[in-house]
Amino acid sequence: MHENIQQIALHEAGHALAHILTGRQFSFVTIDPGKLKIHTDGKSLGYLQPITPYYHDKVNYSRITPNEFYQNFSEDLTILSAYVAQRIFSKDFDRTGSKTDFLALNKSGLINQPEPFSSSYKKFLIAYTFQLLSLDVHKQLILKIADELLKNGTLTATQVQKIVDQHIGTE
């Protein structure tokens, strides 16, 4: 087991919660080494299996519809959320998984638009993601999802949704 397994669980919990919050479907999230060997390159320390692949369409911000913007924005948010979740709970952490996420973000249709849109969008995405995941309820959910990942190794999307629903029901 990796020495920073708690950080990996927080990272994956950030991805999972963002998927729930944006309505982006996923199959499962895992930190289980056996499942990682099956579903990844074998080097990944955690993984979330999205239903819809990321960045399947190129976008032109001058012609983007609100629905297309939200689709692209939600993809970016779900990727960035893992890094943000780790930053919220620890300023000093292993950024290995985040490097892979940042490489994925570099394929974002909105991030790759001409200036000044690109810079403005990046600032908005980062600020929004930090604000969203810094809400007390979301910080508690990240911790609960991470704790369940540490106990079980893998959670289905249904299990993550149940954690969210149970916690929200107690507010």
- State the Cα–Cα distance between residues 53 and 118, nearest whole angstrom: 22
Contact between residue 57 and residue 109 where contact means Cβ atoms under 8 Å apart: yes
CATH number of the domain that 91 lies in? 1.20.58.760
Question: At which residue do the structure tokens 């919990």 appear?
Answer: 13
Render pLDDT for 11-69 as a digit per residue (tens, 0 to 9): 999 999 999 999 999 999 999 988 888 877 777 889 899 988 776 566 776 788 888 88
More confident residue, 63 or 2: 63
User: Looking at residues 109-136, what average pLDDT do you find?
Assistant: 94
Residues making up the chain, counted from first to last: 171
Q: Specify the pLDDT at position 43.
A: 73
Angle made by CA atoms 163, 47, 112, in degrees to the nearest 5: 105
Cβ contacts of 68 within 8 Å, gap of 6 or more = 57, 59
- pTM of the prediction? 0.91
- State the Cα–Cα distance between residues 5 and 36, nearest whole angstrom: 14
User: Looking at residues 111-123, what average pLDDT do you find?
Assistant: 92
User: Looking at residues 97-107, what average pLDDT do you find?
Assistant: 85
Number of domains in the chain: 1
Mean pLDDT across the chain: 89
Print the domain residue range for 150.
Answer: 5-169
- State the Cα–Cα distance between residues 37 and 125, nearest whole angstrom: 32
> Is pLDDT of 1 > 60?
no
Contact between residue 69 and residue 3 where contact means Cβ atoms under 8 Å apart: no
User: Token pair for residue 122?
Assistant: 């990046």
